[in-house]
Structure 1
Amino acid sequence: MSASLYLSCLWPGLPEIWWRGRLASLPLAIGFALAVNLFLIVGWIYPDWLSGGLFWMGTLVGFGVWGYYVARGLRELPELISPRTVSEEPDRFGDAHLAYLKGEWQSCENYLTTVLAIEPRDPPALIMLCAVYRHQGRYEDADLLLGEISRLEVADAWWVELDAERRRLRRQIAAKSESEEHPKTDQNEKQNASNPADLTDSAANLDVQPDSRSAAA
């Protein structure tokens, strides 16, 4: 992991907001900004507001708190950026991919649920789960999940895959609607295609015609 990524840890609360979108860390980030501004104002702009001893005591306490959050951020950053690589749980994404290729939709969904329990914002796993929903006929779930993925900033690099999955979902929904509008026609076509008597009669007619022509000749 690039060393430049650790610079975000210098601002307490920023790594959680930046990499995970955790708004619960927003008060900490705002509090740090206010503390820095207060330090600059009281220390250099209006130094008469506090006595020198009280100011430096507060400064030492502030640096201690800042150091604690920086150390915690440095320790937790790998898990924030790529939790699947540092998790003690086995990565089931490969198993989910294999189950998807086999058409085992329920097994694939179970594996993906395990993956997303570790990394809820993983675009490949989320997009594959949309495809599983589509194959299962759960079109509303797939559409809702696609909307949620589109709102994730980490999914911006996956816009091609998202657009392709959205088109597949729309085609499948349209095909289902069309089949529901013409159920009798589709049923008759299936019966004709699967009726062995019709196929035998057609083959018989093809065999008879050459004999008839030769007899007439």
Structure 2
Amino acid sequence: MPRRVWIAALSLWPGLPQVWSGQEVMGLILAGLFAATLNAAIVTHLIWTEAVSPALTTFVTALAAGTWVAGLAYTLWWVLRCHPERYRAEIEQLYREATEHYLRGRWNDARRRFEQILTMDETDADTLMHLGTLFLRTEQPDQARRAFRQCLELEGGTKWRWEIDQALARLGNG
């Protein structure tokens, strides 16, 4: 099942798709806001039925529903307009260009393209690995370490573990 479909399915609980796709802070804000409004609606409807006015109960319920709709709308907007899959063809083109520049020794052109890819998809472990290798090649050890460590933190970075461990050992940080 494509990642976009999973994210859309997770939209039933606001914030969950954001957490799952790497936007933890936004996801926790949405989830916390929705949970608070939903809890308030449940409490006013089922527990404090006589202590709270019907107008406040209706308002809290509408607020919970509005929070859910807003979370759903934001997630669907993000999936359709901002998700990295939307830029896949452009990312692949940039990746080919970056690799070509790297092989020809045009380090700055390759670096710029790798960084463009990361602005579109910050979870691209292959690009981070190549960027770290480029920083090694251009004798920028601190930036290489940072790129390699970011790569290892990503789900797709585990396939590069051996290569990154070797590079970090050469840099003196194994």
TM-score normalised by L of structure 1: 0.65
Distance change (3 Å), C-alpha of 1:11 and 1:81: farther
Runs of 4+ aligned residues of structure 1 deviating over 4 Å after TM superposition are: none
The yes-or-no answer on 1:145 pairing with 2:155 is: no
Distance change (3 Å), C-alpha of 1:22 and 1:80: farther
Q: Percent identity?
A: 20
Give the letter for the 1:84 counterpart: Y
Distance 2:84 2:110 in 1: 25
Q: Is the 8 A contact 2:125 2:156 kept in 1?
A: no
Give the letter for the 1:166 counterpart: D
CA drift of 1:161 comes to 1.3
Distance 2:148 2:156 in 1: 14
The yes-or-no answer on 1:168 pairing with 2:171 is: no
CA drift of 1:140 comes to 2.3
- Given candidates 33, 45, 48, the residue that maps to 1:43 is 45
Give the letter for the 1:139 counterpart: P
Distance change (3 Å), C-alpha of 1:147 and 1:158: closer
Q: Which has the larger radius of gyration?
A: 1
Aligned CA RMSD, in angstroms, stands at 2.7
Q: What is the count of residue pairs matched by the alignment?
A: 169
Give the letter for the 1:165 counterpart: I
CA drift of 1:32 comes to 0.9
Helix, strand or coil for the counterpart of 2:158? helix
Instruction: List per-residue Cα deviations over 1:140-160 (Å, max 9, x = no partner).
Output: 221122223323xxx233213
Q: Is the 8 A contact 1:13 1:25 kept in 2?
A: yes
Q: Is the 8 A contact 2:41 2:64 kept in 1?
A: no
Helix, strand or coil for the counterpart of 1:82? helix
Instruction: List per-residue Cα deviations over 1:16-53 (Å, max 9, x = no partner).
Output: 33312341442332111111112222211332232334
Distance change (3 Å), C-alpha of 1:156 and 1:64: closer
Distance 2:127 2:92 in 1: 15
Q: Is the 8 A contact 2:101 2:107 kept in 1?
A: yes
- Given candidates 27, 30, 40, the residue that maps to 2:29 is 27
Distance change (3 Å), C-alpha of 1:81 and 1:16: farther
Q: Which residue of 2 aligns with 1:121?
A: 123
CA drift of 1:90 comes to 8.5
Q: Is the 8 A contact 2:34 2:67 kept in 1?
A: no
Which structure would you say has the larger RCO, counting Cα contacts within 8 Å and 6 or more residues apart? 2
* Unmatched 5+ stretches in structure 2: none
Q: Is the 8 A contact 1:9 1:15 kept in 2?
A: yes
